[in-house]
Amino acid sequence: MRPLLLLFCYYKVATAFVSASRGGVAPSPTSLAGGYDATIGADPKTPIQFFVLPGNTCPYVQRTHITLIELGLPYDVTEVTGMPKPDWYLKINPRGKVPAIRVPTADYAVIYESAICNEFLCDYATFRQQKQRLMPMDPFMRARIRLLNDHCDNVFSKTQFTFLMNKDEEKHFECMNQMEEALRMYEDALVESKGPYLLGEDFTIADLHLLPFIQRLTITLKHWKEYELPTDKFPKLVEWVQSCLERDSVKASSMTREKTIEVYSRFVEADYSFGGLNKNK
């Protein structure tokens, strides 16, 4: 692990790709604000540099962590924490968010935003003539994955965090029903695909894109709302969660239940906005 420096994880998804050319040589030491550049001394032959928060706390980072493990791609982790964002990291990712990946052997190309990182990694594996099933080649299946992922980012996750952060008892069932309505798309997808995963037999980007949020849902909503996914409404989704949790990549990238509650306690107490996902504000 590299020394911890300064960064904070923002809970909002967008898109970006940056070429960070350094003439094929490793970066030089700097005196930038935010301390010592954690990438100094990184082997320029490292296939992939992976920038993360410590402790597997960020669901967006977990998506890309799962992708790297599932693909079996070699990578080197650099942890970045805190506020303000260090200048050395803003030179890598101007948005200052994680995850980000940098490829020294490709003229230090930088990719950020979890959904883009994950598709890139699948394409990168294919480019290396490595068989992978996370992102199928069929254009209709790829579109299906992107639609499921868009629903997660723009519909479901908002209802999840709005329900979690709601403190108005009169709105409890309204928030719960809105979340369950958003979850219906995944139950229907599992019924259609005949499972065990969202697109059928293969674990894909659609599964790993959603899982970190469902994983946190099952822990946080049970703890603060005494809510569990009802098996009569979501039998396939409940089975899907268990199937995903049994994968080695998920085990390696997950927080414990206790750590999850510890992390989210700070959010609940602060009435955190989750980058706008909490619509109570």
User: Per the structure, how many domains does the chain have?
Assistant: 2
The continuous run of DSSP H or E covering 187 comes out as helix 172-193
Both 109 and 155 in one domain: the answer is no
CB 87 within 8 A of CB 70: no
Both 266 and 160 in one domain: the answer is yes
**Domain assignment present for 3:** no
The dihedral over CA atoms of 265, 244, 240, 268, expressed in degrees to the nearest 10, equals 10
Both 23 and 101 in one domain: the answer is yes
Both 202 and 223 in one domain: the answer is yes
DSSP percent split of the chain into helix, strand, coil, nearest 5:
50, 10, 40
Q: What does the DSSP 8-state code read for residue 227? A: -
Both 123 and 143 in one domain: the answer is no
**Domain assignment present for 252:** yes
Both 105 and 199 in one domain: the answer is no
Q: Which domain holds residue 43?
A: 16-127
Residues of the chain with pLDDT under 70: 1-36, 38, 40-42, 82-83, 272-281
Q: What is the pLDDT of residue 273?
A: 63
CATH number at residue 65: 3.40.30.10
Both 181 and 114 in one domain: the answer is no
CATH number at residue 268: 1.20.1050.10
Q: What is the pLDDT of residue 7?
A: 31
Please tell me the distance from the alpha carbon of residue 256 to that of residue 16, in angstroms, as a whole number: 31
Please tell me the distance from the alpha carbon of residue 214 to that of residue 87, in angstroms, as a whole number: 33
Q: What is the pLDDT of residue 82?
A: 64
Both 210 and 252 in one domain: the answer is yes
**Domain assignment present for 240:** yes
**Domain assignment present for 9:** no
Looking up tokens 């994880």 gives 9
Q: What is the pLDDT of residue 279?
A: 61
**Domain assignment present for 4:** no
Strand pairing category for 49-52 and 76-79? parallel
**Domain assignment present for 194:** yes
**Domain assignment present for 10:** no
Please tell me the distance from the alpha carbon of residue 233 to that of residue 236, in angstroms, as a whole number: 9
- pLDDT digit string, tens, across residues 3-51: 333 333 333 323 333 333 333 333 333 333 455 676 766 677 778 999 9
CB 39 within 8 A of CB 27: yes
